[in-house]
Chain A
């Protein structure tokens, strides 16, 4: 499930999984758009990307075996799995042992690189008069305000702000980040994990949920996907025209506006602006440089930089606010209710001042977080990315004693590693055991085995296959017996 994902990398693989689950003709329609091809290409793994690029300008199909030969001997399995993934995504097609790129994908990716093909795929810029107040800086503060309002709503500190729109709440409910309870909506465990993710994974989570919602409302998924990929490739701070958008896309536009991913002057205005929340998904620069630190001017001033500084050589450093000492004490310079609520997930808070709170990581506070499904890595990542500039310069950023302790606390909770399985015993003959052991080993499903006791534990998936084998052997034996008679 998408909301269980810790990092952006993992999440990207789940949007790839979503694409894999689409039927072939859907994929072909998604591929008919250069922007979508480029965005999908960027979701691939490094080796996958290289395989695609190597074949992009090959005119004829090549032997699958030759592709495997591109890998160094000890990396063959890796390349095989990447080829397999490309085939599941319908990017690679195989015919009689020869592989080539899907013709539509190849043509559109070439178009994306050379600038040909469908002229509107990277968004139609709006040419009419625009109001001067929409600057990159303004957009950044607008987006942050909107996004934070939603996060505030999730942690239940939204006393001063009105609750987000029905569609936002619908998506939060559907993704099980929040659930209905007697006293209004309540945050769930996966909601807590969501809060600890970096903004770009959060946005991906929302987008994926939106896709599921569109499916349920029987909207055309390809239309939604194409629009989504188009949005991701837009340029920050420019107005785009809504003219060529379909009705579904208009609707989607309005809903993404309520998340702060896009901005429109008024409902039905002829132009819209993408904000850094959505453009950073493709440029990648904002995942580090625009954290949702709610301390106001510092955050918004900085998040206006990313797209502009892309060509520049160094990235600006992050403005963190947390100091963590080796004795597990935590000092946080923040006045944001949201940040305090997030810290409260795993820190035992002691003092609160107008712009400063103190607390400590204790066994109980960390265990409380762990029991909500938050992982030690999530806590450590959060502390690292929000560390105070004075701590940023050190390597490692966090005191090693503390990070080790957090990991130990996590390990002590997970002393049992359970796996759903089947247990085989009472094998009649040695040969019978050995035959089954060999088969199970070949398909790689053995969890535990003892030759002395002639006992075997295999995974649930493995059991299905082994049952099939036994059944077919029995049938063969029965047939042989019948023939003998």
Chain B
């Protein structure tokens, strides 16, 4: 991959988490966070006229593309704002409003459970990658793309596989993923997303007043600037995985030696690749191969075995 040049335009995909139930617990209100985000988006557009922008919003049920909008809405003209900013701001804000009000109508639904506080992030990220792919293919000159995820909700363990696949796809495409987690605990999956793709993981302190400054400082930089300036570093990253069978986050689990699927308990057949495990060999080998597998989880060629794996 070539070096980024100063004149290369960039493409930013902003993924907004608009999960109403998650935001209701946050000390920073959705409105406030959005306002700061919109200023950040304006700042990004101000950087270079060629800069491209896509804004996606996701919640528990759906993932919508807010900008560029499918239909052209007529927006009240405000002469104080630069035309380009005004169009983006208005479409993003109205889009989020409609998604939030749509979600409120569902609150009475008895089917709502603990998963209501989770957002389908993998769907949003893969959609973002599709947008990026389309732009990169459709542009003659080199476009450097990155994502910024504004996340409020907790991790959804059922999404682990699809999310990891998306992250690795992003890594292959050279897309940086910046994460801005607004409140609550650290997001294990998104932390990994930032780490693997070379982006930044930011945790905004509880009142969220410094969110804009933090965003401006760390996430506004394009690929070229990141070569020049120092990026903040993450000290500890939680690299834990989720098991494929019960979607539990596990410290120690079993790994299929053929397809590397992770399970929290012993199973006779791998649910992913349908491999039948031979337990007689497995028991005797697992003790020996444990240490080896920790470093390089490469399946042993001949033995079809299930080994326990410690994930650091």
Contact B216 A57 (CB under 8 A): yes
Contact A317 B140 (CB under 8 A): yes
CA distance A115 to B46 in the complex (A): 13
Contact B80 A116 (CB under 8 A): yes
Knowing A47-B225, A70-B229, A71-B229, the reply to whether A115 touches B220 (Cβ < 8 A) is: no
Contacts of A56 in B (CB 8 A): 43, 216
Contact A282 B49 (CB under 8 A): yes
CA distance A58 to B225 in the complex (A): 20
B217 on the A face (CB < 8 A): yes
Contacts of A38 in B (CB 8 A): 46, 82
Of residues 48 to 93 in A, which have CB atoms within 8 Å of B's CB atoms?
49-50, 53-54, 56-58, 69-72, 75, 78-79
Stretch in B83-91, B117-125, B171-179, B284-292 with 4+ CB within 8 Å of A: B83-91
Contacts of B39 in A (CB 8 A): 113-114
CA distance A120 to B216 in the complex (A): 27
Knowing A57-B216, A122-B80, A313-B135, the reply to whether A46 touches B229 (Cβ < 8 A) is: no
CB distance from A412 to the nearest CB of B (A): 30
Contact A233 B82 (CB under 8 A): yes
Contact B140 A53 (CB under 8 A): no
Contacts of B42 in A (CB 8 A): 113-114
Contact B138 A313 (CB under 8 A): yes
Contact A57 B79 (CB under 8 A): no
- A 86-125 binary contact with B (CB < 8 Å = 1; else 0): 0000000000000000000000000011111111111111
A235 on the B face (CB < 8 A): yes
Knowing A50-B221, A310-B84, A313-B139, the reply to whether A79 touches B228 (Cβ < 8 A) is: yes
Contact A50 B49 (CB under 8 A): no
Contact A122 B46 (CB under 8 A): no
* A115 interface neighbour in B68, B80, B221, Cβ under 8 Å: B80
- B 52-78 binary contact with A (CB < 8 Å = 1; else 0): 100000000000000110000000011
A314 on the B face (CB < 8 A): yes
CB distance from A426 to the nearest CB of B (A): 46
Contacts of A9 in B (CB 8 A): 7
CA distance A122 to B49 in the complex (A): 16
CA distance A264 to B305 in the complex (A): 81
Contact B49 A284 (CB under 8 A): yes
Contact A47 B134 (CB under 8 A): no
* B77 interface neighbour in A49, A58, A125, A315, Cβ under 8 Å: A125
Contacts of A312 in B (CB 8 A): 68
Of residues 272 to 309 in A, which have CB atoms within 8 Å of B's CB atoms?
282-285
CA distance A420 to B68 in the complex (A): 56
Contact A315 B217 (CB under 8 A): no
CB distance from B95 to the nearest CB of A (A): 14
Contact B82 A53 (CB under 8 A): no
Knowing A46-B225, A47-B229, A70-B229, the reply to whether A125 touches B82 (Cβ < 8 A) is: no
Contacts of B220 in A (CB 8 A): 50, 53-54
Contact B49 A46 (CB under 8 A): no
Contact B134 A284 (CB under 8 A): no
A460 on the B face (CB < 8 A): no
Contact B79 A75 (CB under 8 A): no
Contact A115 B213 (CB under 8 A): no
CB distance from A398 to the nearest CB of B (A): 16
A311 on the B face (CB < 8 A): yes
B47 on the A face (CB < 8 A): yes
Of residues 138 to 167 in B, which have CB atoms within 8 Å of A's CB atoms?
138-140
Contacts of B225 in A (CB 8 A): 46-47, 50
CB distance from B12 to the nearest CB of A (A): 13
A142 on the B face (CB < 8 A): no
A41 on the B face (CB < 8 A): yes
CA distance A169 to B268 in the complex (A): 89
Taking CB as reference atom, which chain A residue is nearest B214? A57
Knowing A54-B216, A314-B139, the reply to whether A112 touches B46 (Cβ < 8 A) is: yes
A45 on the B face (CB < 8 A): yes
Contacts of B87 in A (CB 8 A): 311
CA distance A56 to B213 in the complex (A): 8
CA distance A438 to B85 in the complex (A): 54
CB distance from B112 to the nearest CB of A (A): 37
B17 on the A face (CB < 8 A): no
Contact A122 B83 (CB under 8 A): yes
* A72 interface neighbour in B84, B134, B229, Cβ under 8 Å: B229
CB distance from B42 to the nearest CB of A (A): 4
CA distance A53 to B212 in the complex (A): 11
Taking CB as reference atom, which chain A residue is nearest B137? A314
Contact B82 A122 (CB under 8 A): yes
Contact B49 A47 (CB under 8 A): no
Contact A57 B213 (CB under 8 A): yes
B195 on the A face (CB < 8 A): no
Contact B230 A71 (CB under 8 A): yes
CA distance A215 to B74 in the complex (A): 42
- A 388-430 binary contact with B (CB < 8 Å = 1; else 0): 0000000000000000000000000000000000000000000
Taking CB as reference atom, which chain A residue is nearest B134? A313
Taking CB as reference atom, which chain B residue is nearest A234? B83
14 A-B pairs within 8 Å (CB atoms) are namely: A54-B216, A54-B217, A54-B220, A57-B216, A72-B228, A72-B229, A113-B85, A115-B81, A120-B79, A123-B79, A125-B79, A284-B49, A311-B87, A315-B139
4 more contacts with CB within 8 A, not counting A53-B216, A315-B139, are A46-B222, A47-B228, A47-B229, A56-B43
Q: Report the 6 A-B pairs with minimum CB-CB distance, sorted nearest first.
A: A284-B49, A314-B138, A115-B81, A75-B228, A57-B213, A113-B42
